[in-house]
Chains A and B, each alone.
Chain A
Amino acid sequence: MPPPATKRRKLEQSEDESEGSFADFGEVDSAGSEAAEEVNGDDSDVSMDGPVDAEDVSNDEDAEESIAQRNKKNTPAAAATPAQKAPKRPAATLQDGAYTSESFKSNMFKLQVDELLEQVKPKYGKKEAPAENAMRTLKTIMESMPSRDALPISEAEKALKSAGIVVPFPSPRPPKDAKYKLAFERPSSINATGSYPLKMATKSDDGIVIDLVVTMPKALFQDKDYLNHRYFYKRAYYLACLAAGIKAEKKHKFELSFEKWHGNQLQPILVVRPNGDGDADDFSGSKARINIIPALPENTFAPNKLLPTSNAVRPKGGDEDEAAGKTLPPTPFYNSAVQSDANITAYLKLLYATATKADAFKDACILGRIWLKQRGFGSQLRKGGFGNFEWAALVALLLQPNQTTGAQPLSPGYSSYQLFKATLQFLARHDLSKKAVVLQAHNITISKGDTTPVFFDGPRGQNVLFKMTQWSYACLRQEAKATVEMLSDTVFDQFDSTFILKTEILKLKYDATLEIPLSALSLDPASDEYDQQLNGACRKLYETLSRALTDRVTSISFTMPAEEHWSITAKRPHEKQRRCILVNFATDPANANRTVDHGPAAENKQEAAVFRRFWGEKSELRRFKDGSITESVVWSPKDVSVIEQIVRYILQYHKIVQEPEQLNFSGDAFAHLISAGRVQGASGVAPFLPIMNAFATMEKDIRALEDLPLQLRSIRAADAQLRYASAEPPTPGHAPASVVLQFEGSGRWPDDLCAIQRTKIAFLLRIADLLTETESEYTSRVGLENPSQPASNQAFLDLTSATGFTFRIRIYHDREVTLFERQLKDKTLDAPSRESAAASLALYKREFVHAPLHSQVLQTLCTRFPALSPSIRLTKRWFSAHLLAPHFSPELIELLVVRTFLQPYPFAAPSTSTTGFLRTLAWIGRWDWRFTPLIVDFSSTFSANPADLEDAGKQKGMQASDLERLTTRFEAWRRIDPAMNRVVLFAATNLDEEGTTWTDKAKPEKVVASRLTALAKAASSAIRADEDALLRRINGSKDTDAALRPESLFTPSTSEYDVTISINSKYTAKASGKRKSTGQTFKNLEIQHATRITPATPALPALFAQDLLDVYGDSVLWFWDPEALDKIVGLWNPLTTGQRSWKVKPGWNSVPVKVKVSEEEKAKGKDVEIRVNKEAIVNEIRRLGGELIKSIEVKEV
């Protein structure tokens, strides 16, 4: 009977398991509900170990039993589920995997999310204990404070002043003649709230924040206290009394200060920081701060008085108006502020209830916190007013089953990722500033005129988003949209761009920044209305700018100076007017540089008048080509960007800024480093138009030749200059641009590679002949190449057009690939022959197949993304400046930049060369090429094309399986060549799955790739440091570090190189450039010259450098700047040139060295070793270079 027995045992086991897990849930449930009960029953003497120590409670009392139970139950199954019992997060199992395939993006995504959650959650252990202790101490202190009798305001203030406390009254200050009195009584309850007790806190560099809510007794307030700030005065006094009480406590010492809660001056709070003394009350080790927040007991004021539509601040002497029934303007912000004080506990309850109902709620909140933090959002008014609390409340409300948001309610069974994504989807889809969402409240109508978003939570009577501004809401939606978009990417998992990357880096995220010192706004910081005025100024700024810039910008956001806390013994300080506001613009490259803005037609009198009023004298009536006569504004396309012109003009015209010279506008700061670096008009390819036109003409002329022996199939560009990607736009006299010419197929070609090459030369000679016969304006000459490989292409035709552009034509014959492949497989050939065939095949594929294809794609992309061409050119300039260019094929550099444009997440595609360049550098700095391939999906761009969408059945674009295949290929390379001697970087595209086309044969070598990473990292951290300095400056710091000069990123350091060869200035690239320019002083001479322009010959130092590469192979690494060619520097390769035992052919010039060895070894001739003969090599180089070399310096060891 054995089989049934085992069966039964199995069943039992599984039952046990499931029961065990049920018990788990049960326990969590009970703990949770208990906590909630504690919260509910807060009228009684609530103890500290309420929600804070929810876990403690359960552990101490009944939980002990349940744990014991669980243990018992688990014992039989323990062997099967050891992971569950482990103290750490249980290892992910397959069950998770099967389950995640639907509820998470991918396995990888899920595993990374798990890892992330584990990392950011505080441990609630030893580290946090001191802070919790401090919290208990504070609670005891506050509970034992004596009551203070009701006093008139001035007396109450005086009484506290003697205790050294200044009451943090909000402005406007309470009137002198106020009839009400201020009093203090023991708090009715003290509770920890917020993310810390809810276990939704995240670790961060600023430490954790623990909110301690002190509910004021209801008896202190009267029904009408909600009016005219009266409640806030009482609250401020209450807070001051708490501060006085804690300060007076002799036994315990804390560091106290006041702060505006979320930057709202109506609601000051008391912030407790560790005293740093190291005594029992010091909680520095916890890296925490405790906020003491006074709260209003629920239902103190009638809720209908504080709806967003009612008025609670009556104008002075306005009692009669009210009596007259005149409707006063509503005060939604004030009302919501009062309500938010009353709702603290109510929201805590809501979040608790949600957390017990939906398991993944807490994790979703943590993901939301991380997401918000990386995007620079926070609850602070000045940070946009959407922070952790707002996120949690929003998710909780969306989880309500009967919510009436118009969106699908979220299901409590969703995974954390699903909750996170669905919430973002809600934010992205619904414009709450246009159509307010009102939950479970029917009598509310939100006025349409308001531009701030409304998400009204009926049961609690509060607009959750009341702190948001028009612009912060627009930014939030934009970010949500972008994230939803990137999460729907099926190929790449986008985990890093969603959670890991910090998005709010101004230099990377925005294209232009306007710095406005507060003093430029001419506000009075001492005024009662300062905060409102500043807010008003910002709103006006936003409205004016967004109206003036129209579709030139895609987003405008504000970076405000941070709020500061102040001492409890002082009045709230006035804001320093030295501080600045930053206005950040993300531009749309297609429109940003438009020079004409069309207004309404002249007949439309009313609108025209409005337009004129807005633009002032800049507006003029113009007649356009299409016959229309409209009001319009015209900007000059001069050096200053159009956006800067508009911003400066409009701010001055509308008198928002008094002194426009105080404004500091910066944008596209790196563009001047290359010629035509700014996007001109709507395209970035304008400087390349002459050569592209010449190319088109040449193609036409060749096609027109009648006597060609074979029909022409195609002429395709295969050169950086013909795909808008050369560092310098080509001008007459440039280096020849490669072009690939293909004839129609023919059976008359010889079937032998060497003979094919000779036949090609015959064809080239024939074309040259015919062209000069018919079109005399071309000069042509045939050149030779690859003398060592007779089977590779042997010749090219340089064709110079009348306009001075030169094209280098090579003939592509598609039979060659078959012949090479046959040789590769032919086992009767000897090894060197097959190696040569492999090398020739790679060269053939690169030159004739991939280069034209790559050029074609780049041409399309450069016209699609106006900033792509200048970004590539800037990046190439950077590579050259750091002498790295010879080690990277230009196509690889282009791919690196294209990646930034096609996979721009978490940003949008760059719209200036500066952002394109800086983001590329940031990515290179992060790229761990040892373990990650570079994969560019060209097809993703074409999805936006409607023509492609039509035949969607063909499944265009990269699939997840394609990515997997590429990854497998990459991993195979790493297995074959783990030391990375042959392939270091792996760069594949959907068109070129090989991945090594541009990087094979150690191009770059590992050392060079590491140097690239180091340089990119250094550049990125310089950018970060510059940004930090800027932020310090807008916060009023006086240490004005000089701003980062863009040039400094392009200054190479050559100190670490072993050999520096300085080129004679007669032969450097600059010198030859100068010679050319002197010839152009006279226009007539220039014209004469133009008729016989010859293509630039390769610079002599470049040929010399190539010789050095060939002669010294891998024993010396050579670096130079191909654009300047003023020096060539070298590095001894330590791997190959270290001292070693004697060898006849080590591959480098050696010097014999005697070493001490035993007699026995000596007999074998092992007493001589060799090392590289550096002096002789330097001498050799000097002889090889001859007059080219000015001097050679050698680094002294």
Chain B
Amino acid sequence: MAPEKALKRKAPTTVSDFTILPLTLPALPGLPASHTFTQHYLYIKPHEPSAYSATADRSLFLANIPIDASESSLRALFASQLGGARVESVEFDSSVPAAPLHKRWKAERRDDDEEQRGKKRKRNDVDVVAEGVVEDGESALPSLWASEVRRSGSAAVVVFVDKRSARGALKEIQAAAKSGRTVGWSAGSGLGVERYKSHITLTHPSTSALQSSINAYLSQFNSLETHRAKLMKHARTVPDEDGFVTVTRGGRAGPARLEEAEKKKAELEERRKNNGVKDDFYRFQNREKRKEAEVNLRKRFEEDRRRVERMRERRGRVKPEA
């Protein structure tokens, strides 16, 4: 392990515009001897989102966070070991299990939402997702896990209380990285047996909790459904900048069910088949049919030959098993 350790000591402190911060992991029982001193590497830089965000200038971007990182553990890390910068919130880019995914329409529709985001949220106007509703505390199903873990090698955005703490924290990090000062990472809480036991209990929530969440959800859903219908109606009537009216489901004529339309189509085809000229009426039709059959035969034969050749190529010659 000696050469590897040497390598570790010489570990780089920066990569592109990231500062590399080594975290010393706790020594735990039951691990191989070579694993007593282990380091984890965080990659940190100021947060520069592609789209404008109000909190960007007081946030840091952390890549490769430990899987047991949580808001509280990161808060503690900055508070006790990195100059005491105060963290307002942490946004993780992944979790296990993943956050519920709501189906949404493509960006141009969401732009409208973005504009509305700054305004005061009104239940019926915001977050019109393609299906269902975005649950709030009342309508969400009870959570199955007491705590989240992260996917390996994922990232987080740490938002500090103000610009200064963010800048201070980064400076502290750069100093720590340069000096090689030991920054420790302590194990997250609620892992191991506790995590899984609580999951088993949480899987079966009480009937009343379930019932009330369903009731809340369905009433929210009903009101959103009327709102969605309104939006759709709006889209039907308002022409876009080119003067076209978008075709959407649920027009005046009443929607024809897709299945019905398909059935009708098949029916029509059937009728045409029965009434039209049969395809063995003319002599040329027969001739062409025969020709086609022959071509098909030829093609299939060629295919089979190629198949056998390929078979020979990959498993050698055809030979009886000894």
Contact = CB atoms under 8 A, between A and B. Distances in A.
A1183 B35 CA distance: 13
Nearest to B20: A1152
B12 A1168 contact: yes
A1153 B26 CA distance: 22
Interface stretch (B76-84, B115-123, B164-172, B202-210): B202-210
Contacts of B109: 828
A108 B312 CA distance: 12
Interface string B159-182: 000000000000000000000000
A837 B101 CA distance: 10
Nearest to A113: B318
Interface string B42-67: 01000000000000000000011011
A755 B222 CA distance: 9
A373 B320 contact: yes
A116 B130 contact: no
A755 B218 CA distance: 7
A241 interface: no
A788 to B, nearest CB: 4
Contacts of B149: 1107, 1111, 1184
A758 B214 contact: yes
Nearest to A791: B131
Given A784-B142, A1149-B153, A1168-B12, A754 B101 contact: no
A768 B20 CA distance: 55
B71 interface: no
B300 interface: yes
Given A107-B304, A790-B101, A1142-B15, A1147 B153 contact: yes
B194 A1186 contact: yes
A1180 B301 CA distance: 58
Given A754-B131, A1176-B39, A1183 B188 contact: yes
Nearest to A109: B304
Interface in A354-376: 370, 373-374
A501 B221 contact: no
Given A755-B218, A1110-B151, A829 B106 contact: yes
A525 interface: no
A768 B322 contact: no
Interface string B138-166: 00011111000111111100000000000
A799 interface: no
B152 A1177 contact: yes
Contact of A108 (B103, B104, B308): B308
Interface in A1157-1197: 1165, 1167-1168, 1173, 1175-1180, 1182-1194
A1098 B151 CA distance: 23
A830 B107 contact: yes
A1189 B30 contact: yes
Contacts of B144: 784-785, 787
B321 A500 contact: yes
A753 B130 CA distance: 10
Q: What band does the interface of chain B fall in when counting residues whose beta carbon is under 8 Å from A? A: 35 or more
A1188 B318 contact: no
Given A1179-B25, A1186-B193, A1191-B30, A116 B131 contact: no
B298 interface: yes
Given A1098-B200, A1179-B38, A1186-B191, A765 B207 contact: yes
A1110 B188 CA distance: 18
Interface in B273-297: 297
Interface string A116-146: 1001100000000000000000000000000
A1183 to B, nearest CB: 4
B15 A1168 contact: yes
Given A119-B319, A1144-B63, A1147-B153, A1182 B30 contact: yes
Contacts of A1167: 12
The listed residue with most B CB atoms (<10 A of its CB), out of A92, A787, A1104, A1112, is A787
A97 B153 contact: no
Contact of B193 (A107, A119, A1115, A1188): A1188
Interface string B239-264: 00000000000000000001100000
Contacts of A750: 221
Contact of B141 (A787, A832, A1148, A1191): A787
A1149 B152 contact: yes
Interface string A760-785: 01100100100000000000011111
Contact of A1103 (B34, B41, B155, B199): B199
Contact of B297 (A101, A781, A1194): A101
Nearest to A754: B132
The listed residue with most B CB atoms (<10 A of its CB), out of A759, A795, A1142, A1151, is A1151
A1167 B259 CA distance: 60
A1142 B9 CA distance: 19
B272 interface: no
Given A98-B297, A1111-B149, A1176-B38, A928 B308 contact: no
A913 B115 CA distance: 68
B127 interface: no
Nearest to A1061: B30
A873 B121 CA distance: 58
Interface in B193-231: 193-197, 199-200, 203-205, 207, 210-211, 214, 217-218, 221, 225
B100 A789 contact: yes
Contact of A1175 (B35, B151, B319): B35
A1183 B189 CA distance: 9
Nearest to A1195: B32
Interface in A65-109: 92, 94, 97-98, 101, 106-108
Nearest to B11: A1152
A1148 B188 contact: no
Contacts of A205: 322
A830 B106 contact: yes
A1145 B218 contact: no
B96 A1190 contact: no
B40 A1173 contact: yes
Contact of A768 (B11, B18, B207): B207
Contacts of B321: 374, 500-502
A1050 interface: no
Contact of B317 (A97, A115, A765, A1185): A115
B234 interface: no
A94 B154 CA distance: 60
B315 interface: yes
Interface in A823-841: 823, 826, 828-830, 832-833, 836-837
A1185 B194 CA distance: 10
Nearest to B63: A1144
B182 to A, nearest CB: 15
A1144 B103 contact: no
Given A107-B300, A754-B133, A1152-B41, A788 B191 contact: no
Contacts of B2: none
A1112 B152 contact: yes
Contacts of A1145: 63, 153-155
Given A781-B204, A784-B204, A1185-B192, 15 more contacts: A758-B217, A765-B211, A782-B205, A784-B141, A785-B144, A795-B210, A798-B204, A829-B106, A830-B107, A1103-B199, A1144-B155, A1149-B66, A1167-B12, A1179-B28, A1183-B191
Interface of B: 7, 10-12, 15-16, 18, 20, 25-26, 28, 30-32, 34-35, 38-41, 43, 63-64, 66-68, 96-107, 109, 130-133, 141-145, 149-155, 187-188, 191-197, 199-200, 203-205, 207, 210-211, 214, 217-218, 221, 225, 258-259, 297-298, 300-301, 304-305, 307-308, 310-312, 314-315, 317-322
Complex A-B, nearest 7 residue pairs according to Cβ-Cβ distance, in ascending order: A1186-B192, A754-B132, A97-B301, A833-B103, A107-B304, A1191-B30, A788-B98
18 contacts: A107-B300, A750-B221, A768-B207, A782-B207, A784-B203, A785-B203, A787-B97, A829-B106, A833-B103, A833-B130, A1103-B200, A1107-B96, A1144-B18, A1144-B43, A1152-B43, A1154-B11, A1189-B192, A1191-B30
